């Protein structure tokens, strides 16, 4: 009897953890590449090398944008990433395949990149200086939040890699920002996911200027926001992190 309730309690905890959503797989062209599976990868010895940065202990959200976890998800400051990357051409795309994303966790989908200072990203945390620049964002269109569009699109979202950035190693920071509880300070839920990329081709542009942590403040109008005020208010929503960097393509 006790054992049965323990098993049920453990099972419901596992469901709750998984329900937050994470990125166990990405797709570049026709190639599927393993991402970070929170249910297995963190519990495997030796820890598998993945192109998606680990998040530990689960896929839970970050609620404090000044936390060191805001850069590349929970554990950014603790976990050594693997020295591997996924190769993508400048002007190409990377599709993020979330395991799930709940409808009604309304918010924008925001995408940034930062060039790694070494030939691979394995020692680059991206949490100091201002190496980041915004490459793409989807907010609210035709009465639908970008998060719901992602959920309706088989929990997938395609990030376009700028055509004019210089070739080399980059972190791609892809983020779901859930605002369903964001009408109070601390109520927004950040789900950043970082992918280690090698960008080929491209041009000579080397953008930067944003910091994680640093760029986001808990009281930014795009972070402290009531999503239940209706269509006009949602249309006026301004995402945090400023506009997409100009001249990327
Ligand atoms: C939905 O995405 C998963 C991977 O995340 C994939 O295996 C599946 O084939 C996709 N389904 C459709 C209908 O595209
Ligand atoms: C990645 O870079 C680190 C630090 O520069 C280096 O120690 C490591 O050998 C590199 N790994 C690969 C696979 O290039």
Q: Among 49, 123, 125, which is best to mutate for testing ligand 2, by the most ligand atoms less than 8 A from CB?
A: 123
Written as one string, the DSSP assignment of 138-187 is E-EETTEEHHHHHHHTTTEEEEEPPSSBPSEEEEEEEEEEE-TTTTSTT-
Is any ligand 2 atom within 6 A of the Cβ of residue 49?
Answer: no
Could you give the CA distance from residue 175 to residue 71 in angstroms, rounded to a whole number?
A: 10
Paired with 196 in beta bridges are 171
Residue located nearest, by CA, to atom 8 of ligand 1: 154
What pLDDT was estimated at residue 75? 74
What pLDDT was estimated at residue 59? 67
Query: In order of start, what are the domains of the chain with their CATH numbers?
Result: 2-235 (2.70.50.70)
Question: Tokens in use for 50?
Answer: 């993945």
- Average model confidence (pLDDT) across the chain: 89
Q: Does residue 187 surpass a pLDDT of 80? A: yes
Could you give the CA distance from residue 213 to residue 66 in angstroms, rounded to a whole number?
A: 5
Question: Tokens in use for 77?
Answer: 């400051």
Could you give the CA distance from residue 50 to residue 35 in angstroms, rounded to a whole number?
A: 6
Ligand nearest to the CA of 23: 1
Tell me which DSSP letter residue 70 carries. G
Residues 45-62 have pLDDT tens digits of 888 889 998 876 666 799
């Amino acid at each position: 009897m006790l054992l049965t309730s323990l098993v049920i309690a453990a099972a419901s905890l596992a469901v709750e953890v998984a329900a937050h959503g994470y990125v166990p797989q990405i797709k570049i062209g026709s190639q599927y590449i393993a991402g970070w599976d929170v249910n297995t990868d963190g519990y495997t010895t030796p820890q598998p090398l993945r192109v998606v940065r680990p998040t530990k202990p689960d896929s839970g959200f970050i609620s404090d944008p000044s936390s060191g976890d805001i850069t590349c998800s929970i554990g950014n400051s603790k976990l050594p990433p693997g020295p591997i990357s996924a190769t993508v051409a400048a002007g190409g795309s990377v599709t993020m395949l979330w395991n799930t994303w709940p409808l009604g966790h309304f918010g924008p989908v925001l995408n940034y990149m930062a060039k790694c200072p070494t030939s691979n990203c394995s020692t680059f945390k991206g949490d100091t200086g201002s190496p980041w620049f915004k490459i793409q964002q989807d907010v609210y269109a035709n009465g639908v939040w970008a998060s719901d569009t992602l959920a309706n699109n088989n929990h997938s979202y395609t990030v376009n890699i700028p055509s004019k950035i210089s070739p080399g190693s980059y972190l791609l920071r892809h983020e779901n920002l859930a605002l369903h509880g964001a009408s109070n300070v601390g109520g927004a839920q950040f789900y950043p996911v970082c992918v280690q990329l090698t960008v080929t081709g491209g041009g000579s542009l080397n953008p930067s200027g944003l910091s994680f942590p640093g760029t986001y403040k808990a009281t930014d109008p795009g972070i402290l926001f009531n999503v239940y005020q209706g269509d006009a208010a949602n249309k006026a929503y301004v995402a945090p992190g400023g506009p997409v960097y100009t001249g990327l393509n």
